[in-house]
Chain A
Amino acid sequence: DAEITQSPRHKITETGRQVTLACHQTWNHNNMFWYRQDLGHGLRLIHYSYGVHDTNKGEVSDGYSVSRSNTEDLPLTLESAASSQTSVYFCASSPGIYTGELFFGEGSRLTVL
């Protein structure tokens, strides 16, 4: 069965360290997204990609970067982790630009001490 997987599921890091969260999907979807979920804020879009070598900033992109070298993967990098980036991160994919239905991974819980 096609799926979307995230790793690691849990990570604790220190302020200032670089962290990369992996996202891999086997749906062969063109569109991939990274969200963060925080209490009281719902899901907020960090970065998104509509295809290989395409990346775009979402509403909370400061301090994060992504790259898309193939269809299956969209890693999210925190260049210098801050305590404000403690959150649960979700990767998602969708098949088409006008098909807004998202398929989510199980999430990566990041704690920055």
Chain B
Amino acid sequence: TQLLEQSPQFLSIQEGENLTVYCNSSSVFSSLQWYRQEPGEGPVLLVTVVTGGEVKKLKRLTFQFGDARKDSSLHITAAQPGDTGLYLCAGAKIIGATNKLIFGTGTLLAVQP
């Protein structure tokens, strides 16, 4: 089984702090997605990165895809309590006619007011 390791597993910070979540693998992916999941709900897609070295910004969130397309990072600037949730990365591999998504182990973020 190909693994996507996320670090840290848990993160508790104060409102206004910055943070970075990492998603690492030894496999190459055709694209990589980030999802956020709130308690009692399903994950919701935040962004998809496709090109090695690509950087995407979504308000205070910055996503980067590694040059070799094996890893990714999510940076949050000036975190707010509304950012609290479980962040999941998912790498996509196209194998024949199928597109396999492999999910990371998740990072649980708590932002204290």
Which residues of B are in contact with A by a Cβ distance under 8 Å? 1, 4, 31, 33, 35, 40-45, 48, 88, 90, 92, 94, 97-99, 101, 103-106
Contact = CB atoms under 8 A, between A and B. Distances in A.
Contacts, number: 52
Contacts of B98: 50, 97
Given A40-B105, A43-B103, A107 B94 contact: no
Interface stretch (A13-21, A69-77, A78-86, A98-106): A98-106
Nearest to A107: B42
B101 A102 contact: yes
10 contacts: A35-B103, A42-B106, A50-B98, A90-B42, A97-B99, A100-B31, A102-B35, A102-B101, A104-B44, A106-B41
A101 B45 contact: yes
Given A41-B105, A42-B105, A104-B42, 4 more contacts: A100-B31, A100-B99, A103-B45, A107-B41
A43 B105 CA distance: 8
Contacts of B33: 100-101
